[in-house]
Amino acid sequence: MALAKAYPDKNFIGIDIKGARFWRGAKTALEEGLKNIGFIRTQIELIDHLFAENEIDEIWITFPDPQIKYKRTKHRLTNTEFLQKYKYILKPGGLVNLKTDSEFMHGYTLGLLHGEGHEIIQANHDVYKNEYSPKEVTGIQTFYEKQYLEQGKPITYIQFKIK
């Protein structure tokens, strides 16, 4: 919602399986007259069937479940399979942004990106202690992010390109 408000010349699509989140977002978008935002309720595993090859400019993954248990690796939104799905739908040079409170997710993703040779543009272990953090990262706070900040948890951020 905040990105759609900040960039009225760009289109934004939220994807989630939980309908309650979309109901609130869609209701607010209608109330505020936002015409550059849409919502798709589906499993994220289908993302490469929702968009054409090279259709998307940028992906934001905000506060995903880190799926810490090893047997849940296939559900991590930054695992190898998901990265390949993102690569398919992203335009050449397209960006992926990961914002999370999970040091595990941050470390896992950095290790995977380094290991697979992807281009890490920016990586930060605490965006609120870095004066160079982009305004989209610190200027927009999700509901969960506000809760984490109140608890004193650092918010991490990675921006990368998939090779």
The count of structural domains within the chain is: 2
81 and 9 within one domain: no
**Would you say residue 32 lies in a domain?**
yes
pLDDT at 102: 95
pLDDT at 146: 92
94 and 31 within one domain: no
If you write DSSP's letter for every residue of 42-110 in order, what string do you get?
A: S-GGGHHHHS-TT-EEEEEEES-----SGGGGGG-TTSHHHHHHHHHHEEEEEEEEEEES-HHHHHHHH
| Domain with 154 in it | 57-161
**Would you say residue 105 lies in a domain?**
yes
Q: Which of 29, 38, 33 lies closest to 11 in space, CA to CA?
A: 38
69 and 22 within one domain: no
pLDDT at 54: 98
63 and 37 within one domain: no
93 and 70 within one domain: yes
Distances (CA, A) of 44 to 7, 112, 159: 24, 20, 20
Which token pair is 158? 């990675």
**Would you say residue 68 lies in a domain?**
yes
Could you say which residues of the chain have pLDDT below 70? Answer: none
pLDDT at 20: 84
CB 41 within 8 Å of CB 16? yes
pLDDT at 72: 92
81 and 139 within one domain: yes
34 and 72 within one domain: no
Single-letter amino acid, residue 162: I
| 3 state SS of 132 | coil
pLDDT at 56: 98
85: CB partners within 8 A, 6+ apart: 45, 47, 48
Which residue numbers are catalytic?
A: 65
CATH number at residue 99: 3.40.50.150
83 and 38 within one domain: no
pTM strictly above 0.85? yes
Q: Which helix (H) or strand (E) holds 156?
A: strand 156-161
